[in-house]
């Protein structure tokens, strides 16, 4: 297990370095340097040279890449071109908003999806089972920004039940929670059906096993059998999927943040892309890539820990 | 083929998916004929109208007919998915077979390459690339291709690895068959079905990405209609009129459901091994 973990961690590190190099490579492959794009066609050569120097783009690619990675290791991601503030500070300011949103969305989806999946497994082909079946296929596939837009339109603009914009007043917890309702709904809806389907199918397998039958034979109430004997095992595959889900939800969170004008990593990235603020773009992408890779790594490790067969490579 | 169609007709959701997909393809081809107005024709006097007999889905902030924009917008969606999926499928197929059948070091390199590209959250990657190259439909297609190759590549690699140790492949090798012959005559037919299913399930993902990037203002350039740009316009005027958002979102949902239902049904029919999980677990 340790051996496997070490190999996976090493590979993850390599992937992060490669991912950053890929981005760096692209900056230099495209025609025209970022400074001219940023300053427009009428900028003087001196101005361009100065900006390039400030963004560190006047050095050879390999030097830049090495310097970026070394600095990143020390937690220094460079400076915002416009405000001169450290990128690390800017990203860390926005990160909690996104992390809370993503965790809350997946958490709520699990909280609703797991009982729903248990129920569907026990009452197979009941109307609720059929509804979740269609729902799971439908909602996981529909782009989450459509759900966000419709939620904004119906629940906020038309019915005025929830606020449409921002993250709420700082320090005012009820207000902040009210601002979280719609984004969480939009982000988590697709996962409810998906999680319930996963729990359902693994539950159907577990429910046939000896120890569950034994528990039933002892005359334990059905819900105790399900909760204490079947679900404990049936939940395992779902745990790993939730780990992956946290990484994947980052992309959808970007749309949710933009639709609801909520601060966060996604909105930061979108804004810095629009203003071509390269240091912030690079920093944000690096942080989210690390977040994504770590989420995948953790779910891989949990998976390998549960299922030793996965520890040996497939060839 | 006939067999597949017969089976599809007995699967209610799958059949519905087939009808939706065929309708969409038909509408896309005939979009320019069906559209009642020119989708980029501005009529300032008719701004943000609600649906009426003149404009069945209302008008947007520049008085353009939304129905016409939705109809013509389907061309962008299907064009992007057709090009992006066929190119990434082909490249993924070649790289995947190379990884599965080639020397071991090449396999390692390709797998790390696939994992690297997959390690960016797709939209973040797309945003970063667009910020570097500038927004255009070709950029969107390029990003989709780059992020989709690993999905196909990985599946092809796994299937190739599974096939290459089978007895009939060993027999071919013993008879001195060329690698190309083995790959295209024997391995390919064995991986065609899962690839087609994957491609069908991938259409809504690609359509969603194009719409998403256009919604962010990073896809098609105005005034070209795309479902995403209709939603973008609608979002800016959400308090004035709900119709652009309603009209721009529904085709996206319908396309998504159509291709997903069809893909699921095809999977059940063509690849019974996969049937255990998911919708038809019972």
Residue owning tokens 């900028």: A43
Q: For all residues of chain B together, what is the average pLDDT?
A: 81
Kindly indicate the confidence band of residue B281, based on its pLDDT and cuts at 50, 70 and 90: very low
What residue in B sits closest to A138 (Cα-Cα)? Answer: B257
What residue in A sits closest to B164 (Cα-Cα)? Answer: A315
Kindly indicate the confidence band of residue A307, based on its pLDDT and cuts at 50, 70 and 90: low
CB nearest to B212's CB, from A30, A255, A315: A255
Q: Is the pLDDT of residue B166 over 70?
A: yes
Of A134-138, A264-268, A280-284, B270-274, where does mean pLDDT reach its minimum? B270-274
Distance in Å from the first CA to the final CA of chain A: 18
Kindly indicate the confidence band of residue A55, based on its pLDDT and cuts at 50, 70 and 90: low
Judge residue A37's burial from the number of C-beta atoms within 10 Å of its C-beta, 0-12 exposed, 13-18 middle, 19 or more buried.
middle
Assigned token pair, B178: 């060329």
What SS3 class is residue B65? strand
CB nearest to A314's CB, from B120, B161, B211: B161
| Greater model confidence, A105 or A247 | A105
pTM: 0.81
- Model pLDDT, residue B278: 38
- Model pLDDT, residue B2: 67
What residue in B sits closest to A126 (Cα-Cα)? Answer: B282
Mean pLDDT score, B236-253: 85
Q: Is the pLDDT of residue A313 over 60?
A: no
- For residues A69 and B223, give the distance between their C-alpha atoms in angstroms, rounded to a whole number: 41
Q: For all residues of chain A together, what is the average pLDDT?
A: 79
- Model pLDDT, residue B277: 41
Q: Which residues lie closer than 8 Å to A184 by C-beta, 6 or more apart?
A: A101, A104, A105, A108
Q: Which one of A21, A124, A149 makes the best mutation probe of the B interface by having the most chain B beta carbons within 10 Å? A: A149
Tell if the CB–CB gap between A269 and B242 is shorter than 8 Å.
no
Assigned token pair, A40: 């427009």
- Model pLDDT, residue A202: 83
Kindly indicate the confidence band of residue A314, based on its pLDDT and cuts at 50, 70 and 90: very low
Inter-chain Cβ pairs, chain A and chain B, closer than 8 A: 145
Rounded to a whole number, what is the distance in Å from the CA of B237 to chain A's nearest CA? 11
Assigned token pair, A207: 């429910």
Q: Is the pLDDT of residue B84 over 90?
A: yes
Backbone angles phi, psi at B162, to 5 degrees: -70, -35
| Greater model confidence, A147 or A59 | A147
In B193-222, the residues whose Cβ lies within 8 Å of chain A are 204-205, 208, 211-212, 215-218
Of A158-167, A223-232, A305-314, where does mean pLDDT reach its minimum? A305-314
Q: Is the pLDDT of residue B93 over 50?
A: yes
**Chain B environment of A8 (Cβ under 8 Å):** none
- Model pLDDT, residue B87: 95
Mean pLDDT score, B30-45: 77
Residue owning tokens 């240091």: A279
CB nearest to B133's CB, from A30, A125, A138: A30
| Greater model confidence, B277 or A16 | A16
In B79-98, the residues whose Cβ lies within 8 Å of chain A are none
Tell if the CB–CB gap between B264 and A137 is shorter than 8 Å.
yes
Assigned token pair, B223: 């005034």
Q: Is the pLDDT of residue A302 over 90?
A: no
Kindly indicate the confidence band of residue B82, based on its pLDDT and cuts at 50, 70 and 90: very high
ipTM comes to 0.79
Q: Which one of A40, A121, A122, A141 makes the best mutation probe of the B interface by having the most chain B beta carbons within 10 Å? A: A141
What residue in A sits closest to B263 (Cα-Cα)? Answer: A137
Mean pLDDT score, B30-53: 76
What residue in A sits closest to B123 (Cα-Cα)? Answer: A251
Mean pLDDT score, A46-72: 75
Backbone angles phi, psi at B182, to 5 degrees: -60, -45
- Model pLDDT, residue A87: 86
Of A30-39, B36-45, B97-106, where does mean pLDDT reach its minimum? A30-39
What SS3 class is residue A98? helix
- Model pLDDT, residue A32: 55
Chain-centroid distance, C-alpha B276: 25
- For residues A265 and A92, give the distance between their C-alpha atoms in angstroms, rounded to a whole number: 9
- The answer, for B237 touching chain A at a CB cutoff of 8 Å, is no
CB nearest to A269's CB, from B127, B235, B239: B127
Pair B61, B240: CB distance under 8 Å? yes
Judge residue A94's burial from the number of C-beta atoms within 10 Å of its C-beta, 0-12 exposed, 13-18 middle, 19 or more buried.
buried
Q: Which one of A17, A137, A260, A272 makes the best mutation probe of the B interface by having the most chain B beta carbons within 10 Å? A: A137
Kindly indicate the confidence band of residue A83, based on its pLDDT and cuts at 50, 70 and 90: confident
For residue B65, the cross-strand partners are B59
What residue in A sits closest to B213 (Cα-Cα)? Answer: A255
Q: Note the pLDDT tens digit of each residue in A155-204.
A: 877 777 877 777 677 777 777 778 888 888 888 888 888 888 888 888 88
Mean pLDDT score, B96-112: 87
Q: Is the pLDDT of residue B83 over 90?
A: yes
A102-111, A210-219, A228-237, A290-299 — most confident range: A102-111
Q: Is the pLDDT of residue A306 over 50?
A: yes
Counting residues of chain A whose pLDDT is more than 90, the rounded percentage is 1
């Amino acid at each position: 297990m340790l051996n496997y973990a070490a190999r996976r961690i090493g590979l993850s590190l390599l992937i992060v370095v490669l991912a950053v190099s890929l981005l760096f490579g692209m900056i230099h492959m495209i025609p025209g340097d970022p400074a001219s794009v940023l300053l427009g066609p009428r900028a003087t050569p001196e101005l361009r040279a100065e900006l390039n120097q400030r963004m560190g783009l006047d050095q050879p690619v390999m030097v830049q890449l090495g310097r970026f990675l070394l600095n990143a290791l020390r937690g220094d991601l460079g400076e915002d071109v416009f405000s001169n503030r450290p990128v690390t500070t800017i990203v860390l300011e926005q990160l909690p908003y996104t992390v809370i949103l993503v965790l809350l969305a997946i958490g709520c989806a699990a909280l609703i999806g797991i009982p729903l999946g248990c129920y569907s497994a026990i009452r197979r082909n009941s109307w609720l089972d059929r509804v979740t079946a269609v729902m799971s296929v439908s909602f996981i596939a529909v782009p989450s920004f459509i759900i966000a837009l419709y939620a904004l339109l119906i629940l906020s603009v038309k019915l005025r039940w929830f606020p449409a914009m921002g993250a709420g007043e700082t320090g005012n917890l009820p207000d902040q929670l009210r601002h979280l309702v719609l984004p969480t709904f939009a982000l988590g809806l697709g996962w409810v059906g998906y999680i319930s389907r996963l729990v359902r199918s693994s539950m159907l397998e577990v429910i046939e096993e000896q120890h569950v039958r034994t528990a039933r034979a002892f005359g334990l109430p059905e819900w105790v059998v399900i909760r204490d004997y079947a679900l404990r095992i049936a939940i395992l595959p779902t745990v790993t999927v939730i780990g992956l889900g946290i990484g994947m939800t980052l992309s959808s969170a970007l749309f949710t943040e933009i639709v609801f004008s909520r601060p966060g990593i996604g909105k930061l990235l979108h804004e810095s892309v629009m203003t071509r603020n390269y240091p912030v773009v690079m920093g944000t992408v690096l942080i989210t890539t690390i977040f994504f890779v770590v989420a995948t790594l953790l779910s891989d490790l949990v998976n390998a820990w549960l299922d030793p067969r996965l520890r040996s490579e497939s060839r | 083929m006939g067999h597949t169609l017969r089976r599809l007709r007995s699967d209610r959701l799958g059949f519905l998916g087939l009808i939706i997909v065929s309708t969409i393809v038909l509408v896309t081809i005939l979009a320019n004929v069906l559209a009642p107005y020119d989708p980029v024709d501005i009529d300032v006097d008719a701004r943000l109208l609600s649906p009426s007999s003149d404009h069945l889905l209302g008008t947007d902030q520049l008085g353009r007919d939304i129905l016409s924009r939705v109809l013509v917008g389907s061309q962008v969606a299907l064009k992007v998915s057709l090009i992006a999926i066929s190119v990434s499928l082909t490249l993924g197929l070649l790289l995947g077979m190379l990884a599965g059948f080639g020397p071991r070091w090449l396999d390692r390199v390709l797998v790390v390459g696939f994992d690297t590209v997959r390690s960016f959250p797709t939209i973040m990657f797309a945003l970063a690339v667009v910020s570097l190259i500038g927004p255009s439909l070709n950029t969107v297609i390029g990003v989709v291709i780059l992020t989709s190759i690993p999905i196909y590549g990985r599946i092809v690699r796994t299937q190739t690895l599974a096939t290459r140790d089978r007895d009939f492949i060993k027999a071919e090798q013993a008879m001195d068959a060329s690698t190309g012959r083995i790959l295209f005559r024997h391995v390919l037919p064995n991986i065609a079905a899962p690839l087609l299913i994957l491609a069908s399930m991938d259409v809504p993902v690609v359509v969603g990405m194009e719409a998403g990037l256009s919604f962010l203002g990073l896809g098609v350039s105005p005034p070209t209609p795309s479902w995403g740009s209709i939603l973008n316009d609608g979002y800016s005027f959400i308090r004035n009129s709900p119709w652009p958002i309603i009209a721009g979102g529904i085709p996206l949902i319908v396309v998504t459901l159509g291709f997903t239902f069809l893909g699921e049904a095809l999977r059940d029919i063509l690849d019974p091994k996969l049937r255990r999980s998911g919708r038809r677990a019972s």
